[in-house]
């Protein structure tokens, strides 16, 4: 019974930022659960490597280079996904960026715009395109990636925290817009030990402040994303699940 709840056989999943870190873990988890995958990120070669891993698991995969901060790239990504598979059942808006600025006043307009484009504008556009097609068809699932920074903002992360708070709000709005055929939920990760964690992975004070007293391993996102992508969460929509080790 438990296995069938998380079965994704016959489904197609589109994952942005799918070539590394949490995105790659999600892609491989979906493939192991039976889904075919569209792997999207800025670098085609990196996407192709992960696509080959998916194919080695016996599933179909297509690699698409796309910068989600660009409106037209999201349009092309959606069209490429439907051209390849004819459907998208699961959309995961995982791509993001979280650079630190030297200070509030020294945050450049260009940096501010880039952070909002990748973390909010892109997910909005891609969700709008795919969600409307899901709602007009057989339904589906959209999973957004927020951050614990949306709940615990710091002066050094104002644009990023604001963009992720917007993702939380968007999750509720899109759940209303695409109901009842499309469920829209959100995961808010805390500090995970991915390839972008170099600046803080040895920060003992930060680790000690967490409820679980350790940083997350990338594969620890899998249980939550499979839950939200599958029929195991069939009565869950418009919610944000924190997977943060206890960021209080």
Distance CA 248, CA 239 (A): 19
Residues in the chain: 248
Question: What angle do the packed helices 71-85 and 122-136 form, to 10 degrees?
Answer: 30
Contact (CB, 8 A) for 73 and 95: no
Q: Which of 82, 160, 227, 235 is catalytic?
A: 160
Contact (CB, 8 A) for 108 and 99: no
Distance CA 137, CA 72 (A): 23
Q: Does 160 participate in catalysis according to the annotation?
A: yes
How crowded is the C-beta side of 155, counted as CA atoms within 13 Å? Answer: 5
Give the catalytic positions in this structure. Answer: 160
């Amino acid at each position: 019974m438990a296995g069938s709840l998380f079965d994704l056989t016959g489904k197609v999943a589109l994952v942005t930022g799918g070539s590394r870190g949490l995105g790659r873990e999600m892609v491989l988890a979906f493939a192991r659960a039976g889904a075919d995958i569209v792997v999207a990120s800025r670098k085609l070669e990196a996407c192709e490597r992960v696509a080959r891993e998916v194919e080695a698991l016996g599933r179909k995969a297509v690699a698409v280079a796309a910068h989600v901060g660009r409106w037209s790239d999201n349009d092309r990504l959606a069209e490429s996904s439907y051209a390849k598979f004819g459907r998208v059942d699961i959309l995961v808006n995982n791509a993001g960026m979280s650079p630190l600025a030297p200070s509030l006043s020294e945050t450049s307009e260009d940096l501010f715009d880039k952070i909002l484009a990748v973390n909010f504008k892109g997910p909005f556009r891609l969700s709008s395109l795919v969600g409307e097609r899901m709602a007009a068809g057989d339904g589906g699932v959209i999973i957004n990636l927020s951050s614990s920074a949306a709940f615990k903002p710091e002066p050094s992360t104002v644009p990023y925290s604001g963009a992720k708070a917007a993702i939380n709000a968007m999750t509720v709005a899109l759940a209303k817009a695409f109901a009842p055929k499309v469920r829209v939920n959100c995961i808010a990760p805390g500090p995970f030990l991915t390839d972008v964690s170099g600046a803080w992975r040895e920060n003992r004070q930060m680790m000690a402040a967490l409820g679980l007293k350790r940083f997350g391993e990338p594969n620890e996102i899998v249980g939550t994303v499979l839950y939200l992508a599958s029929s195991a969460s069939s009565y869950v929509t418009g919610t944000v699940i924190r997977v943060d080790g206890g960021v209080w």
